[in-house]
């Protein structure tokens, strides 16, 4: 009888240890020297510009996902690769009007991984799978659409650059539409909570490699919590939605357990992911201000400045307007 629960535990462990699969049949990312066959660079730039991070405009522009090269084409040379769900989940959103986004037609899926609320995004699709509905469940590997070249940018996407743009994201605040109306009155928001400003991405390449290397020992929570600080911010706010959706990112602090919580210390990586949240006791919060910038990792900011979250004015670090907006949205 003791075998049963063990088998059960192992199967649960196995499914959680490798939460994500690749979004198309292209697996060159795992082959030595296969990067050229996996990533599509921007016009006239090498494959690195199709990876995640500060890879555009000499490092000053962020690319939030991976641009995955197509493997199959029809007679006209149009991409036909099936696009696959990267994990079990449900359909969170899809945009079927390419004119409304530089992502063209795109799909967002929602996943629960180790109790974290995680989203994957698939962009520039030719079409989504028939019958796809918001809220419907999808299985990992299920075909959710067909690769295409849809976008609303003037430059368009040429046939030879055909790719799926793939992201793995966390959502900053589900009350984004209210925050946006309040912060930018009169400005259009076509995608509700699925506005790009409300998504903070993880590097999918780094994640896939870590999954492969660590096998059954892989943990998404550990991967996120091992991100590098760009800066740390203290907030005198005791409740905000992130705490509820990402409890695995909250660090235990015995002082706050003993004395009570007066606010939180939030560590942001260069993308703006609040990857570690530390409850702070009243005695630990030095400033009376609602938001205080505690520290900046200058080396990281120099290496990866593209989100422009912090800025140095006359030798003093401060949150730049992107950083202020992000914290404001996080706490809204
Ligand atoms: Zn892209």
Per-residue pLDDT of 169-185, as tens digits, reads 999 999 999 999 999 99
Mean pLDDT of the 234-251 span: 97
In this structure, how many other beta carbons lie within 10 angstroms of the beta carbon of residue 41? 19
Question: Does residue 193 register a pLDDT over 60?
Answer: yes
**What's 129's DSSP letter?**
P
- What pairs with residue 168 in β-bridges? 120, 202
CA of 264 to the centre of ligand 1 (A): 34
CA-based nearest residue to 284, from 251, 307, 245, 309: 251
| CA 74 – ligand 1 centroid, Å | 22
pLDDT in tens, 299-310: 999 999 999 999
Alpha carbon of 102 to ligand 1 centroid (Å): 10
Residue 258: CB partners within 8 Å, gap ≥ 6?
281
Separation of alpha carbons 296 and 232, rounded Å: 7
Q: What angle do CA 219, 222, 226 make, to 5 degrees?
A: 145
Distance from the alpha carbon of residue 214 to the mean position of ligand 1, in angstroms: 27
Q: Is the pLDDT of residue 256 over 80?
A: yes
Phi, psi (rounded to 5 degrees) for 190: -80, -15
Give residue 16 CA to ligand 1 midpoint distance, Å: 27
Q: Do 265 and 278 touch, CB atoms closer than 8 A?
A: yes
Q: Answer yes or no: is pLDDT of 102 > 80.
A: yes
What is the CA(64)–ligand 1 centre distance, in A?
A: 7
Q: How far apart are CA 273 and CA 326, in angstroms?
A: 10
CB 233 within 8 A of CB 298: no
Separation CA 230–CA 53 (nearest Å): 14
pLDDT tier at 11, thresholds 50, 70, 90:
very low
* Helix (H), strand (E) counts: the chain: 9, 17
pLDDT at 248: 96
Confidence at residue 18, expressed as pLDDT on a 0 to 100 scale: 81
Report how far Cα 92 is from the mean position of its chain's Cα atoms. Answer: 15
pLDDT of residue 103: 96
From the list 35, 52, 39, 121, the residue with the least C-alpha distance to 306 is 52
Instruction: Give me ligand 1 centre to Cα 195, in Å.
Output: 16
Six-digit token pair at 160?
């030879």
How crowded is residue 36: how many other Cβ atoms within 10 Å of its Cβ? 12
Q: What is the Cα–Cα distance from 24 to 166, expressed in whole angstroms?
A: 10
Cα(5)–Cα(244) distance, rounded to whole angstroms? 30
Q: Is the pLDDT of residue 69 over 70?
A: yes
Q: What is the pTM of this model?
A: 0.93
Q: What is the per-residue pLDDT for 14?
A: 45
Q: Which two tokens stand for residue 227?
A: 């991100």
Spacing, Cα 234 to ligand 1 middle (Å): 33
Pick the residue with more confidence: 274 or 8? 274
Q: Is the pLDDT of residue 2 over 80?
A: no
Looking at residue 3, its pLDDT comes to: 47
pLDDT at 162: 97
Q: Own/partner pairs for 155-160, CB < 8 Å, 24+ apart?
A: 155/43, 157/124, 158/43, 159/73, 159/77, 159/78, 159/79
What does the pLDDT average to over 130-148?
A: 96
Rounded to an integer, what distance in angstroms lies between the CA atom of residue 75 and that of residue 26? 20
CB within 8 A of 292, min separation 6: which ones? 233, 234, 235, 286
pLDDT of residue 16: 55
Mean pLDDT of 209-223: 95
pLDDT band at 123 (very low <50, low <70, confident <90, very high): very high
Structure tokens at 239: 């409740």
């Amino acid at each position: 009888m003791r075998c049963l629960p063990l088998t059960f535990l192992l199967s649960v462990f196995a499914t959680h240890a490798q939460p994500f699969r690749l979004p198309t049949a292209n697996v060159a990312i795992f082959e030595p020297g296969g990067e050229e066959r996996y990533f599509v660079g921007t016009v006239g730039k090498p494959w690195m510009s199709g990876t995640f991070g500060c890879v555009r405009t000499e490092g000053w522009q962020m690319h939030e996902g991976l641009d995955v090269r197509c493997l199959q084409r029809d007679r006209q040379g149009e991409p036909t690769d099936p696009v696959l769900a990267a994990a079990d989940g449900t359909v969170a959103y899809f945009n079927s009007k390419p004119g409304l986004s530089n992502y063209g037609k795109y799909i967002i899926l929602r996943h629960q991984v180790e109790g974290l609320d995680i989203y994957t995004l698939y962009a520039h699709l030719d079409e989504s799978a028939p019958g796809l509905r918001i809220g419907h469940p999808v299985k990992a590997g299920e075909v959710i659409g067909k690769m295409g070249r849809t976008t609303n940018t003037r430059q368009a996407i040429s046939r030879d650059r055909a790719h799926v743009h793939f992201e793995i994201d966390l959502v900053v605040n589900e009350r984004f539409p209210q925050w946006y109306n309040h912060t930018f009155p009169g400005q259009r928001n076509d995608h509700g909570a699925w506005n790009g400003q409300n998504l903070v991405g993880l590097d999918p390449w780094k994640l896939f490699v870590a999954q492969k290397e660590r096998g059954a020992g892989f943990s998404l929570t550990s991967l996120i919590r091992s991100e590098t600080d760009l800066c740390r911010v203290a907030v005198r706010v005791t409740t905000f939605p992130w705490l509820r959706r990402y409890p695995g990112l909250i660090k235990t602090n015995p002082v706050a357990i003993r004395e009570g919580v007066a606010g939180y210390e939030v560590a942001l990586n260069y993308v703006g992911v609040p990857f570690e949240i530390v409850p702070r006791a009243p005695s630990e919060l030095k400033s009376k201000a609602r938001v205080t910038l505690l520290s900046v990792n200058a080396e990281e900011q120099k290496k990866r400045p593209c989100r422009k979250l912090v800025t140095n004015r006359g030798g003093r670090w401060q949150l730049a307007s992107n950083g202020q907006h992000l914290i404001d949205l996080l706490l809204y």
